[in-house]
Amino acid sequence: MEIEKEEQETAAFGFTVERVSALSDGVFAVAITLLVLSIAVPTITGHLTSAKLAHGLANLWPHFFAYVLSFIIIGMFWMSHHALFSAIQEVDKGLLWINMIYLLLIVFVPYPTSLLALFGDVSTAVIFYAAIMAAAGLMQALLGFYATRNHRLVDDAFDLREANNYIRHSLEMASVFLLSIVIAPFNSSAAQYFWIVLFILQFVDAYIYKRKDRKALARAEEAA
């Protein structure tokens, strides 16, 4: 009865999956757009020439690196978030608050991105960036766990193995950034190179679970 009452109250305030998804997509769009502000304009002294401008742009490679990195990572977060909300059938206040905290971290990403672009050779900037990304990964895992635990907000027919994949993927992202925090005090560049593991895990996961899907399909065909 208490759960039903809370659901009725949530519905009465007009909270729907569509509205939450629309808000979330808007926040992701703003965060991605603001990332471009991390790219500074080259400072040219004296008479401007093509060579000086090219040299100035080349010196800004840390800014372009930080921009592309954060763009891709926010894109990865958005794809996972979209996949989860495609399965969610209803929302409650708990999900709303977890999602809001998650979005707070997402829209904040341009700030640590700017710090990384300017001070990427300083361990504090790398640690700060990694901490924000790790926190976002953990909140994303919590979002998936809360929504799918005992089919709380998903259809009864929803395969919880998909939820486990979502949570595992989010925790993997968080773990990579947390491990890079341990590396950063010793070598800030190595900590940033370690983030490449994020993309390796993407391919490994895709390969492993495609194989599992093929095996499951083969067993189903044999059983038929």
Give me the number of domains the chain comprises.
1
DSSP-derived secondary structure letter, 212 = H
Number of C-beta neighbours around residue 26 at 10 A: 12
Q: What is the pLDDT of residue 145?
A: 95
pLDDT attached to residue 163: 84
pTM for the whole structure: 0.84
Task: Kindly list the distances between the CA atom of residue 181 and the CA atoms of 94, 118, 178, in Å, as whole numbers in the listed order.
Answer: 30, 18, 5
What is the C-alpha separation between 57 and 41, in angstroms, rounded? 8
pLDDT in the model for residue 12? 42
Q: Check residue 158 and give its pLDDT.
A: 83
* 224 three-state secondary structure: coil
pLDDT score, position 209: 63
Kindly list the distances between the CA atom of residue 192 and the CA atoms of 76, 121, 182, 216, in Å, as whole numbers in the listed order.
18, 10, 12, 38
Rg (CA), the chain: 21
Reading the chain (224 residues) residue by residue, the pLDDT tens digits are 444 545 544 454 567 889 999 999 999 999 999 999 888 777 777 777 787 788 878 888 889 999 999 999 999 999 999 999 999 998 999 999 999 999 999 999 999 999 999 999 999 999 999 999 999 999 999 999 999 988 888 888 888 888 888 899 999 999 999 999 999 999 999 999 999 999 888 777 766 666 655 555 455 555 55
37: its two tokens: 């502000």
Dihedral angle sign, alpha carbons of residues 209, 211, 214, 220: negative
Give residue 139's domain range: 2-223
Return the pLDDT at 160: 81
